[in-house]
Amino acid sequence: MREFLVFQSLWAMQDHRGQCDLPLEAQLEKIAAAGFDGITDHFWVAQHAERLHAAAKAQGLQIEGQVFPRTVDDLAAAIDVASRYGCHHLTLQADVRPRTLKQAIELIEGWQHLAEQVDFPVLLETHRYRLTSDLLFTLDILAEMPDLKLLADLSHYVVGRELPDPATAEDDEQIQTILRHSWGFHGRVANGEQVQVPLSFAQHRPWLERFLGWWRYGIEDWLARPNTPDSLSFTCELGPPPYAITGADGRDITDRWAEALMLKQLMREVWSDCQRRPRDGH
**Per-residue confidence in pLDDT tens, the chain, 282 aa:** 799 999 999 999 999 999 999 999 999 999 999 999 999 999 999 999 999 999 999 999 999 999 999 999 999 999 999 999 999 999 999 999 999 999 999 999 999 999 999 999 999 999 999 999 999 999 999 999 999 999 999 999 999 999 999 889 999 999 999 999 999 999 999 999 999 999 999 999 999 999 999 999 999 999 999 988 999 999 999 999 999 999 999 999 999 999 999 999 999 999 999 988 765 555
Burial of 225 (0-12, 13-18, 19+ CB in 10 A): exposed
Give the integer Cα–Cα distance in Å for 48 and 51. 5
Question: So what's the pLDDT on residue 278?
Answer: 66
Q: How many CB atoms lie within 10 A of CB 273?
A: 12
Tell me how far CA of residue 86 lies from CA of 21, 43, 62, 145, 196, in angstroms: 27, 10, 9, 27, 31
Question: So what's the pLDDT on residue 282?
Answer: 52
